[in-house]
Structure 1
């Protein structure tokens, strides 16, 4: 993109600046539109599973329902509790929303289609995702209300617990791919299964890691059955209880942007990213652009997120913590040892 603006007569510095801004807008604006539409899809999937119709009035098939809800929230009054810490109260949703967008800078939508193709892209994702807990914690503390505060404490414990397991799961992927770069991780999955299957999910050692990663993704984004931070039967609405208007909407936008991020990571790390499912030249799907495969796989995982939310009952908090610390953490450590040992025995031992 920098070369394009340079060809228009801009200097190198201005071309880099304008190109970066254009790249950010090309990611952020479609992402916001996608968030609006997946909220609609989310509600439609819940309705279908519960034998209801879902949104069907505003616009054709109810497609404009999310935009009507957004307009309604935008026109509402922003109410700040008198006992709240006003500065931190308003800063919390901004941090949550910003962090959710910043993580998309290293997500490759196709070969070479990425804003920042850095060598440590996976570490960048881990670092940015760990910051999302601050927005929720600040919201709970600044509200000066017991329900948001309890929710913030739950969120901090929950997100830190499952980030530990996610870290070890990603170590397994990095060991097989030999790189922290997300584009290289995708290319390493080309023909990985029997020489024709594009994806690590076909690997018997990595398939359990994907199952754990998917469940941890639900916990990391506070989705059912791990939505203990928003449990209405216990905490009214959790850390969002005291929020209204656009501050409330920013939390929702950030939450769904994080959900899409986790869906895309499932796609990139285990299901071949923009690669077609099978690496066979005879099949005409090689004419389908890579970003279409990426979007289709990401949407499939979002459908699974919605499916789980509509069918699985909420965990108790002690069950949530036990699953993270007593099941996922030991299992991920065992698989790190098993996978590194297998690679040393087959790949590196054979080379020696």
Structure 2
């Protein structure tokens, strides 16, 4: 039996495809995560744009119109401006509290993503009490807001931190009640 060189090349090409199967698996594992993140980001951008346009219409003024077509990229421009602003730390305040506060708020939100399932078998931390962990970790964010307000050693900043923490807590209580009621409903 004589094997032709074209047959050998065909067999080798199939073995190359087999080695790419792992790469395809990793890519398909990232597709739900990227889809979810892009969907949420685009949704937030559209909601911010609609809120600004509707508010401008109600107040009879011109809304965002310079950043992108029809002002669609205004939220991205605001985020870029916020990232590139000069970092001011108050001289009379507690600089450690003032600097650590926003980090605690952001880290608690990112940690809450660890129990969210992105696919059938794609969960960063598969906990049996994932819902309770999510509620507990996301409830740490107001502490970071209070720390920043208190660390500035300014009564107005402290009142602003109290207000932001109260607003955050007022959103978390109904959210926690909704999530817990659904959790109690599905537990058998």
TM-score range, shorter chain: 0.5 to 0.7
Equivalent residue for 1:115, pick from 123, 129, 137: 123
> What is the deviation of 1:139?
0.7
Q: Distance in 1 between matches of 2:174 and 2:134?
A: 15
State the secondary structure of the residue aligned to 2:104: helix
Equivalent residue for 1:42, pick from 48, 51, 57: 51
- Structure 1 unmatched runs, 5+: 9-14, 180-352
Q: Describe how 1:64-79 pairs up with structure 2 within 5 A.
A: 64-79=73-88
> What is the deviation of 1:36?
4.7
Q: Describe how 1:27-38 pairs up with structure 2 within 5 A.
A: 30=38, 35-38=44-47
- Structure 2 unmatched runs, 5+: 1-18
Q: Which residue matches 1:125? A: 134
Pick the structure with greater CA Rg.
2
Q: Which residue matches 2:106? A: 97
Q: Which residue matches 1:178? A: 187
Equivalent residue for 1:86, pick from 92, 95, 99: 95
Q: Which residue matches 1:150? A: 159
The TM-score normalised by the length of structure 2 is 0.64
Q: Are the equivalent residues in 2 in contact too, given 1:84–1:143 (CA < 8 A)? A: yes
Q: Distance in 2 between matches of 1:85 and 1:120?
A: 37
> What is the deviation of 1:167?
4.4
Q: Distance in 2 between matches of 1:141 and 1:39?
A: 30
- Structure 1, residues 7-33: CA drift from partner, whole Å, max 9, x if none? 25xxxxxx8xxx99x689738963556
- Structure 1, residues 262-294: CA drift from partner, whole Å, max 9, x if none? xxxxxxxxxxxxxxxxxxxxxxxxxxxxxxxxx
Q: Label 1:45 to 1:66 Cα distance change in 2 as closer, same or farther (>3 A).
A: same
Q: Describe how 1:20-31 pairs up with structure 2 within 5 A.
A: 26=34, 30=38
Q: Are the equivalent residues in 2 in contact too, given 1:37–1:66 (CA < 8 A)? A: no
Q: Which residue matches 2:22? A: 7
Q: Label 1:144 to 1:61 Cα distance change in 2 as closer, same or farther (>3 A).
A: same
Q: Distance in 1 between matches of 2:127 and 2:166?
A: 30
Q: Are the equivalent residues in 1 in contact too, given 2:114–2:123 (CA < 8 A)? A: yes
Q: Which residue matches 1:57? A: 66
> What is the deviation of 1:148?
2.0
Between 1 and 2, higher relative CO (CA 8 Å, sep ≥ 6) is seen in 1
Q: Distance in 2 between matches of 1:104 and 1:42?
A: 27
Q: Are the equivalent residues in 2 in contact too, given 1:24–1:115 (CA < 8 A)? A: no
Q: Label 1:146 to 1:163 Cα distance change in 2 as closer, same or farther (>3 A).
A: same
RMSD of aligned alpha carbons: 3.9
Q: Which residue matches 1:194? A: none
The TM-score normalised by the length of structure 1 is 0.38
Q: Distance in 1 between matches of 2:136 and 2:20?
A: 32
Q: Label 1:28 to 1:106 Cα distance change in 2 as closer, same or farther (>3 A).
A: same
Number of equivalent positions: 166
